[in-house]
Amino acid sequence: MDHLPSLTSDCSQCAALCCVGLTLDQGELFAIDKPSGTPCPNLSRDCRCTIHTDLVDKGMTGCTLYDCAGAGQRVVQMRFNGESWRDDPTLLPAMMRDFNALKPLHERMAQLVEAGTLDLTPNLEAERVALLTRHARVWSDSDTLRNRFDAFVSALAQANP
Ligand code: SF4
């Protein structure tokens, strides 16, 4: 489907939105506590991770497991013309709002693409494509869309027990 946004994260086109937006809880996956909306102390001025090659040894395994499915760079490039909150901190609340709104949509689109590798009935395939199209068109989540996605997953589970 060529109308889909990229679902592969590209940190070079983002502004480290996950390193700001995620809540980190000190424990097995993270060495530190950090509230959502606060930049990680390991983030450099130019939005690079200063311990990128050392994340596991530094107790930040959770960072290696995280994937925004392309939501971060889409927010930065499509909503903010490539600008960074580092240069204009007043952008941060709106960037966080858009990132949190878009992330679940991208995560579900990635799952819908994955579902396309299964042997689906024509009805399920039609619904999968319709859901992908709908998810790609909107910039924030809704109960309607979430419920429709959940219904698709339930139908998929019944068809492929
Ligand atoms: S440790 Fe690095 S990758 Fe993890 S949140 Fe901090 S800056 Fe981001």
Residue 6 forms part of a structural domain: no
- How far apart (Å, rounded) are the C-alpha atoms in residues 87 and 22? 20
CA–CA gap between residue 109 and residue 127 (Å, rounded): 13
61: its two tokens: 């395994």
26/30 Cα distance (integer angstroms)? 5
In a domain, 1, yes or no: no
Residue at 91 is within a domain? yes
**Residue 3 maps to a domain:** no
The number of the ligand 1 atom at minimal distance from the alpha carbon of 16 is 8
Query: Quick check: is 19 in a domain?
Result: yes
- Please choose, from the candidates 18, 15, 6, the residue with its C-alpha nearest in 3D space to the C-alpha of residue 100: 18
Q: What is the number of structural domains in the chain?
A: 1
User: What pLDDT, on a 0 to 100 scale, did the predictor assign at position 91?
Assistant: 97
Evaluate: CB of 31 within 6 angstroms of ligand 1.
no
CA 36 – ligand 1 centroid, Å: 13
Please tell me the predicted confidence (pLDDT) of residue 160. 73
Segment (H or E) for 141:
none
Question: What is the residue with the minimal CA distance to atom 1 of ligand 1?
Answer: 42
Compute the average pLDDT of residues 69-97. 96
Task: Give residue 130's domain range.
Answer: 11-159
| Separation of CA 63 and ligand 1 centre (Å) | 6
Taking only the tens place, the pLDDT of each residue in 12-61 is 999 999 999 999 999 999 999 999 999 999 999 999 999 999 999 999 99
Is 69 within the bounds of a domain?
A: yes
Whether 152 has a pLDDT exceeding 90, the answer reads yes
The protein residue with its alpha carbon nearest to ligand 1, atom 4, reads 63
Residue 137: inside a domain: yes
Phi and psi torsions of 90, nearest 5°: -65, -15
Q: Which atom of ligand 1 is nearest to the CA of 58?
A: 1
CA–centroid distance, 14 to ligand 1, in Å, is: 13
